[in-house]
Amino acid sequence: MNQACELLFYTFLNLLWSMSYIWAIHHFCTSHFTCNNRRKKPLLLLLIIILPLSNAVTLSGIFPFAVGLLLYPILWQVLLVFCIVLLYQGTTIRKILASALLLTISSLLQNFTESLFRCMVLIALHAMHIERTPLLDYILDGMAYCTTTACTMGGILLLEKHMTGFFVNRLRRWYIMLSVPLFGITILWDLVYIGASHGILLRGGDHLNLYYNELFSHAGICVLSLLCMCGIGFYTFGMDKIDIEQKQKEQYHSQVLFYQMLEEQYRSQERLRHDMKNHIIGLQQLIDNCGRDILYHKKSDKFDCGICLKETRDYLHRLADAAGIGYADDLTGKNIVDALLYYKHNQANNNLIRWECDVHISSKCPIDDFDLCVIFGNLLDNALEACRKMETESDCFINIQASMVKKCLLIEITNSTAKQPGCQKDGIGLRNVKDTVAKYNGTLSINADDNIFRISILLPCIYATHDTNQSL
């Protein structure tokens, strides 16, 4: 095969690779970012054209061999980062991290798959005593390209499924701490590519022939790329887990402080409510009796006195509501839970959400008060948010049920939700709930159908000490 045919052959293979690769990258990015449709076609077309052309220039001999091998990966890597930053909408640092992940994973997968394939081919040819010919090399190169393309595309799509929420609500330094090592590994593999492509990277010694040196080279690249992929996986997902746990702890601390403040306010209000309740009830009874006497003995003043009595009665009712006297039915047996339910009840009333509460918790229940508030607080926040998103206010409701069942505490919260049931987010709040349930070896179940979202929790009431500080 002459040089022109060789150039055409490898350009075609690179075109196939670039089209598949750009499709996988676009699929990955659109799952995490919004695509700028105005720039979509020209930038994708530019990538598809530039990748095979840059490889063709490298193979054509216009540049020295080593320079061409170095320019090719650097050219398309810089171009890829540039296009991702321009094509997709979002903060630049997030798109740079996505570029770093895609470049590193695709480079490692490509080297691992190709080296593994070459090792298997070399062993098979040696075992069957088949001589290598130029035609056979071209066939094997085509098979290597197809195998590498399939595995790399599959790896990118698999990575996409495990990175839901990976590019949202993160600090800038977190993105930088991930991007810098990934770009460093990519540059390292560019250097490995120069040494390994069309040459020998490792030598076993002068006593070994070309076959063993080539086999050792591919085996070395295969092992090294596999170790790098494992290291990147542990580092990337480990950083993700650390960040989530840190946010959980921060939110938990904030909730503890909030519930402590809420309990103090509730206690102060409880004392005020206790003092005011008797006075208001007495005044209401006195005015009612006075009104009946006035209406009975002075019919001529009936209109004016009736208005006066109505205004006074309405004022006292508003004063009773302001003191929270009407919410006494939410008493549960746990002061801090009472305070939380009172607070959430007010939020529900302000949003015209029907509130139904029947919670009875034994004062001897060993479950920590703050853990109970973490459960009730996060679940009620999710329920309130789901109700606010309802199109019709008349259908909004929240039902809270909790009681002791034998030696367990059963909590069930039901609320209306949007037309797509089960759409309430599994965010940090629900993760805190799951962690708290797991702390007591409890169970949690979620059911969503017919625009109704229901979550049930069963907590064994084992009479042992649970230290809140230790749980943090």
In this structure, the strands spanning 397-405 and 354-359 are parallel
pLDDT in tens, 29-68: 888 888 877 777 777 777 777 766 666 665 555 655 555 5
355 within some domain: yes
Lowest-pLDDT range of 115-124, 172-181, 457-466: 457-466
Q: How many domains does the chain fold into?
A: 2
pLDDT in tens, 368-386: 887 888 888 889 988 988 8
269 within some domain: no
**Of 208, 232, 247, which residue constitutes the final position of a domain?**
247
Query: Which residues contact residue 459 at a Cβ distance below 8 angstroms, ignoring those fewer than 6 apart?
Result: 367, 408, 409, 411, 437, 440, 442
Q: Stretch 381-399: mean pLDDT, rounded?
A: 83
pLDDT of residue 369: 80
Say whether both 179 and 68 belong to one domain. yes
Say whether both 200 and 66 belong to one domain. yes
Tokens standing for residue 186: 């990519």
**Of 214, 232, 247, which residue constitutes the final position of a domain?**
247
Specify the DSSP class assigned to residue 207: T
Q: Stretch 189-216: mean pLDDT, rounded?
A: 64
**Residue-averaged pLDDT of the chain:** 77
- Torsions phi, psi for 24 (to 5 deg): -65, -40
* pLDDT band at residue 411 using 50, 70 and 90 as cut-offs: very high
455 within some domain: yes
* pLDDT band at residue 470 using 50, 70 and 90 as cut-offs: very low
- Provide the CATH number for the domain around residue 462: 3.30.565.10
311 within some domain: no
Residue with tokens 């006074």: 312
The domain in which residue 398 lies consists of 330-472
Say whether both 185 and 56 belong to one domain. yes
254 within some domain: no
pLDDT of residue 41: 78
**Of 247, 263, 294, which residue constitutes the final position of a domain?**
247
User: What is the helix (H) or strand (E) element at residue 112, kind and residue range?
Assistant: helix 92-127
The pTM of this model reads 0.60
Q: Stretch 237-256: mean pLDDT, rounded?
A: 78
pLDDT in tens, 267-325: 666 666 666 666 666 666 656 666 565 555 555 444 445 555 565 666 566 665 555 54
Lowest-pLDDT range of 136-140, 216-220, 291-295, 393-397: 291-295
